[in-house]
Chains A and B, each alone.
Chain A
Amino acid sequence: MEKDEKSSQVFACKGERCKEMLEKLSEYIDGELDPKLCEDLEKHMADCNPCLIFVNTLKKTISLFKYASAEPLPKEVHLRLHDYLKKKCQGC
């Protein structure tokens, strides 16, 4: 039972300080955050598991979307595009 609870990884968020931190997260993830604030944020995350999870899930969301859809251009769409443009543009 104890093991089950641990593996489900559910944590509670503590409050206002977290909100302040969360507003800076994109800058943190993109490496654009001022070093002092960066240090504060990392210190906060070491003590606040929900914020750490929030950062991890935010980073993962961004990376998942990179692979979420990479639809190739269908051959027939390519052919129709070139036909369409030829009709509309050639000779004008």
Chain B
Amino acid sequence: MFDLSDPILLEKIKTGDYKAFEALVTRYESKVYRLAIRMLRNQQDAEDALQETFLQVHRGLSGFEGRSAFSTWLFRLATNVCLMKIRHRGTEPSKLLPLEDYLPRHEEGEVPQMVDWTIRPEEALLSKESREKMMEALEKIPPEYRAVFILRDMEGFSNAETGESLGISVAAVKSRLHRARLALRGLLSDYFEMEEGTKRLGSGMED
């Protein structure tokens, strides 16, 4: 059963084969859970979203005509379930991500400065604390942008697949992706620069 392709499993499910449905769930449950954790950053909410998504899959399968890949349809359902949960929380960040906020700052009478934190060792950039900061940063950007970034840059979907999964055009995918990337770069830079400043201050005090 586990070797069968998605379309064959779907055919079997439509004839009432529950084992085929379990095989399909097993194939995709980790990916859906990972998407939900990244979107919601809360294990209980991610588990609820996982259950809700596959329940919707089972209920909606008779209407799935196979015009797009099953995985695209599945991620569309999963993303919508996550977005609904975020809306219900009522604490989402504002929907706009003005590009200017994430470009180098030009303060009056002052030239903005850039710190090249990429020269730091990978272990430092991917420390437990850094990873935690990255997830915090992801939570700070509007969910519609977050979803694009997760699907496109973290899950490796193409622009077209991301657009299809979210029900938006490729142009909208590109625009949201660019803003999400700039915002995340800005937030991560703030963190790494602050960390570097603290370190310098620390070494200065030792002197």
Contact = CB atoms under 8 A, between A and B. Distances in A.
A68 interface: yes
B86 interface: no
Interface string A78-91: 10111011101110
A12 B106 CA distance: 10
Given A18-B104, A69-B34, A85-B25, 17 more contacts: A9-B119, A22-B103, A22-B104, A50-B104, A50-B112, A53-B114, A56-B116, A60-B118, A61-B184, A65-B149, A66-B153, A68-B134, A73-B34, A80-B51, A85-B21, A85-B55, A88-B55
A21 to B, nearest CB: 10
Measured as residues with beta carbon below 8 angstroms from the partner, the interface class of chain B is: 35 or more
Contacts, number: 140
Contacts of B76: none
A46 interface: no
B131 A69 contact: yes
Given A77-B33, A85-B51, A13 B119 contact: no
Interface residues of A, number: 47
**Chain A interface helix/strand/loop/mixed:** helix
Contact of B185 (A11, A58, A67): A58
Contacts of B75: none
Interface of A: 8-15, 18-19, 22-23, 25-27, 49-50, 53-54, 56-62, 64-73, 77-78, 80-82, 84-86, 88-90
Given A66-B153, A85-B51, A90 B113 contact: no
Interface stretch (B1-9, B160-168, B175-183): B175-183
